[in-house]
Amino acid sequence: MKPTYHVASESALILSFGSTIDPSVSSWVQRAYGALKEARIEGFDEIIPSYASLMVCYDVLRFDFKGASETIERILLGALDRAVQASKTITIPVYYGEEVGLDLALLAEEKGLSVEEIIALHVKETYRVYAIGFAPGFAYLGELDVRLATSRLASPRKVVPKGSVAIADRQCAVYPSQSPGGWKILGRTPMAMFDASYEGLSLLHVGDRVRYERISKEEFLRLGGVL
C-alpha cells in the first residue's frame, strides 16, 4: 500500500495509509515505521506511528516537505513488502475489585450485563497496540468486543489513579501515571507501564499484543499494587 503525504507543520509531515482502525492498515504503518527507524536518517528527529498514519518530524535546516517526502519514498521503496517483525504478547494482571473498578457497575447497567460478564468480555480478547500517546507509556489498544463499546464519561475525572485499566469507544488502555481522564475504569494493574528500565521507557510498543489476566486483591497487593 502506497501512503499519501500531508503537511503537518513546517517541520513535520504525515504518511497516511488509510482512515480506519484496522489490523491490515496497522501492519503497513508498522512496516513503514520499522524501515524509517532502521534507516536512521540524520535530520529525522522523531517518527511517531498511530492507528493508520505515521508522523515524521524533521530538521528544517536539512529538509523541506518535498525533500523529506522524497527521502521517505526512497526508503520505503521495496521496504513495505517486508514481513512485519514478530510482535510480543504481554500479559497485564488486573484486579477488578469494586474499590478500583470505578465504572464497572455503571457499565454493567448501561449494557444490561452483570459485572462478571463485563470482566469476562474484557479478558477474553487479545488486543493490538495501535499507538502510544496522550502521556508517556499510554498505549491505545484495540479492539474491544462490540458489546463493551462505550462513550467517555460526560465529565472527566480530575484524578485517575496510576495503573487504572480503562475503556472508551472500542479502545482500552492503562493509565501509566496519575492524571485527569474520561475513560471508564474497569480495574487496576500493579504493572508499571512507564519505567526508565524499559526499551523506549514504555512497556508496550506499537504492534505488540496484549492480554488482560484477572487477579485477586491479594495477588494485586503482593505484586505491589496500591489501593
pLDDT in tens, 182-211: 999 999 999 999 998 888 789 998 889 999
Write phi, then psi, for 73 (nearest 5 degrees). Answer: -60, -40
pLDDT on residue 173: 97
Sequence length of the chain is 227
* SS3 sequence of the chain: CCCEEEEEECCEEEEECCCCCCHHHHHHHHHHHHHHHHHCCCCEEEEEECCCEEEEEECCCCCCHHHHHHHHHHHHCCHHHCCCCCCCEEEEEEECCCCCCCCHHHHHHHHCCCHHHHHHHHHHCCEEEEEECCCCCCEEEECCCHHHCECCCCCCEEEECCCEEEEEECEEEECCCCEEECCEEEEECCCCCECCCCHHHECCCCCCEEEEEEECHHHHHHCCCCC
pLDDT level of residue 218 (50, 70, 90 thresholds): very high
Whole-number pLDDT of residue 81: 64
Higher pLDDT, 18 or 151: 151
Q: What is the pTM of this model?
A: 0.81
Domains by residue range for the chain, with CATH = 4-81 (3.30.1360.40), 89-222 (2.40.100.10)
pLDDT tops 60 at residue 155? yes
- pLDDT, position 165: 98
Residue 84, pLDDT > 60, answer no
Instruction: Kindly state the average pLDDT of the residues 221-225.
Output: 97
157-183 pLDDT, tens digit per residue, is 999 999 999 999 999 999 999 999 999
Q: Which pLDDT does position 82 carry in this prediction? A: 64
Gyration radius of the chain over CA positions? 19
pLDDT tens across 104-154, in order?
999 999 999 999 999 999 999 999 999 888 778 899 999 999 999 999 999
Q: What is the pLDDT of residue 83?
A: 55
At residue 222, the pLDDT reads: 98
What pLDDT, in 10s, does the model give residues 21-58?
787 888 888 889 888 988 999 999 999 888 889 999 99
Q: φ, ψ for residue 96 (rounded to 5)?
A: -105, 30
CA 107 – CA 130 distance, rounded (Å): 24
The pLDDT score that the predictor gives to residue 31 is 85
The CA–CA distances, whole Å, from 159 to 101, 113, 155, 180, 224 equal 14, 27, 12, 5, 20
